[in-house]
Chain A
Amino acid sequence: MLGQLIVSSLVVGSIYALLALAMSITYKASEVPNFAQGEMAMISTFMAFVMLSSYGLPFYAAMLITVVFAFVLGLLLEFLFLRRAKMPTPLNLIVITIGFQLMLYGFAGWKWGSDQRQINLPFSESKVIFQNDIFALTELNLATLIIAVVVLVVIYLLIQRTKLGLAMKACQQNINASRMNGISANRIMAITFGISSVVGAMAGILVAPILTLDPSMMWDPLLKGFAAAVLGGMKSLHGVVIGGLLLGLVENLFGFYISIEFKSVVAFAIIVLILYFKPSGLFDKHYVRKV
């Protein structure tokens, strides 16, 4: 039983990890937790749903369109809303993201209503493709793990190995110094929001078959993702990924051994405990400037 618990924890945890990573990428760049992240993922998931169900596109084409759509949505948030703020404080920008969240929520409610829909991914939720004494793995579980790992690796390579990644890291640390070296900070910021939105959309698509597809589907997962990010340390990319997996594990073990009723409280208890004892998160090795 423990083996099965750990495997399903990893599956859920990898979705939390994606959401936490999405939050963390933009938080590092702008010092603003993007509260519209969940609704952006929700809209992107609806996009995938429309492509799959209404237009009957094959899965890969639908995914491709969704990725492009999510990227553009992230660009728009930065370009149309955040960049327009005059001399913004982080609080102003947070309020803007909440406004954007409510706009998207309202739009989805108007367009698709509050019906609960089913997204048809080509991975079955019930078909077991791997089984031994310790655990069983369904098709959807395996696909979730693979897609999550692929996204994480791509993001890692993008940030560590490319010039764009270097520019992103530079802007995260010091916007003015980046501009002094010829980096167009506005453009990099918009791209950062675009990338973060794509990562969030992937999480949305993976979480949709587990939950149901409706406008408020991302509320709970996003809060969990946020908790995972706080747990790992908002500014450490590998930290938030480990935070996501850890949260999935703690939550599932708690639900099984202690109380299933209070399972969803665990994430919030973790936020409180972390903020009490190690506000920078477990893995944040932020360099502290010497005076």
Chain B
Amino acid sequence: MAETILQVSNIETYYDKVRALHGVSFEIKEGSITAILGNNGAGKTTTLNTVMGLLDDQPDKGTIHFSGERIDGKDTEKIVAKGIGYVPEGREVFDELTVKENLLVGAYLRKDRKGIQEDLDKMFSFFPVLKDRLQQQAGTLSGGEQQMLAISRALMNRPKLLLMDEPSLGLSPALVKMIFDIIPMIRDEGITVLLVEQNANMALKVADFGYIMENGRFVTSGTAKSLQEDEDVKEFYLGIKTEVSVKGQQRYKRKRRWG
């Protein structure tokens, strides 16, 4: 049984007086790909931002342990230094820096020049297009290229755990496929991946484990395979529905079993 690398216990996060997470708990096994699925506003990004310490004074309750060490309440830069990489929603590349500078910012905490150069080459083998764009301002890249840059930038710090927030957002199907092909390769480098997605179909194909989130809570969880076969997940997230009705049309919305 693999070690638990990230242990989130019962966290509650508030935006002012509104509680966005109502006691979220999950754990991530080292070397796995875990997916958190859910609709808009379910609290997926809030969960990641809380783990990264990007929300001031949050989580209000609960604890987060990374490799056995408590990290909730610590500064983001300290959490990053411990080995968590973050690919934020909407890329957040540095628009006015060149691609190369963006990658070097990713390696900010490292001192080994040789290792940095090796990792740069590795990123170019993952995403050859970045090499062609090396001296170009990141803001002039297409959305897909920016996503590749954001992933590479996070990897430049050699994280043990990589959090990815909706890497497929706003990308064409071909690019989505490309990004999802890269994710298992990242895992094969020995990096544990936590993936937050709306695109449940793609996410469950690459993931080992999945959690489904609604309204700031996890409503179900399991191995990716069991989720793919779950009737409710199929209907509400994967869009597979079998019509069963006397008149050949559905008359009642199927009641969700969770909640």
Contact = CB atoms under 8 A, between A and B. Distances in A.
Summarize A's interface: helix, strand, loop or mixed.
Answer: helix
A178 B92 CA distance: 10
A174 B54 contact: no
A265 interface: no
Contacts, number: 74
A96 interface: no
Looking at B94, B105, B109, B157, the one whose CB has the most chain A CB atoms below 10 A away is B105
A287 interface: yes
A169 B108 contact: no
Given A169-B101, A170-B105, A287 B139 contact: yes
Contacts of A169: 94, 96-97, 101
Nearest to A86: B56
Interface stretch (B65-73, B80-88, B117-125, B219-227): B80-88
B137 interface: yes
Interface residues on B, range: 20 to 34
B81 to A, nearest CB: 5
Given A167-B105, A289-B139, A180 B88 contact: yes
B105 A166 contact: yes
Given A173-B94, A287-B137, A287-B139, A179 B101 contact: no
Nearest first, the 10 A-B pairs at minimum CB distance are A182-B80, A179-B76, A182-B109, A177-B92, A287-B139, A180-B86, A173-B94, A170-B105, A184-B77, A287-B95
Interface of A: 163, 166-167, 169-170, 173-174, 176-185, 286-287, 289-290
Given A169-B101, A180-B80, A182-B108, 14 more contacts: A163-B104, A167-B105, A173-B94, A173-B97, A176-B88, A177-B94, A180-B52, A180-B76, A180-B88, A181-B105, A181-B153, A182-B81, A182-B157, A287-B139
